Amino acid sequence: MRQICYEEMSSRVFNIWVRAIFVILVFSFVQCRTHQLNEKADIRDPSIIKPITQMQKTEQEWLTELGAEKYRVLRQCGTEAPFTGKYLYHHAKGIYRCAGCGVELFSSDTKFDSGSGWPSFFDALEKSKIRKVRDTSHGMIRTEIRCAQCDGHLGHVFEDGPKPTGLRYCVNSIALDFSSDSLSEH
């Protein structure tokens, strides 16, 4: 009798885990298309910045210019695996730029180790260069960050960063390029 109950319970637990994994996988394949949301104020944070003049390229032009992996992250809202990006443990002084268009986004002075597995910054060089979009993919409500110039997906921003801003811009390394040679005036 006890053996049957244990086997029955194990089977139920197994079924619950299978269902949970299935749900997670389904959410994983959902692309973040929230940048296509309409501009109604009731579905967007009032502090969200409107894009500057955006670059107009076809998806084929983007794919040719960026290559498959950068295209997947920047244009299809993909995410690189945690703890794999080339800028995670990068400590050189300079400017991090959008890998899609070259616009200056972050300074190394605001980079910190968040332990999240992605490069993190507590502030942007200029708020107008980053567009914030409500992201409801993967069963969560987050704030996606996109380059305001080329509309490339950069990552997400969270309100658990260090002082003085309390923000953590969590960015895919592959969405960034780095320049240490000439820092422009900010």
| Alpha helices per DSSP H over the chain | 2-29, 59-66, 68-74
* Paired residues of 107 in beta bridges: 95
Query: In which residue are the tokens 């921003």 written?
Result: 157
Among 77, 147, 150, 170, the one annotated catalytic: 170
The helices-and-strands tally (H runs, E runs) of the chain is: 3, 9
Assess whether 32 carries a catalytic annotation.
no
Confirm if 163 and 179 have CB atoms less than 8 A apart: no
32: which residues sit within 8 A by CB, 6+ positions away? 77, 135, 137, 144, 153
Backbone phi, then psi, for 26, in 5-degree steps? -60, -45
Q: Work out whether strand 120-121 and strand 168-171 pair parallel, antiparallel, or are unpaired.
A: antiparallel
Confirm if 128 and 49 have CB atoms less than 8 A apart: yes
Active site residues: 170
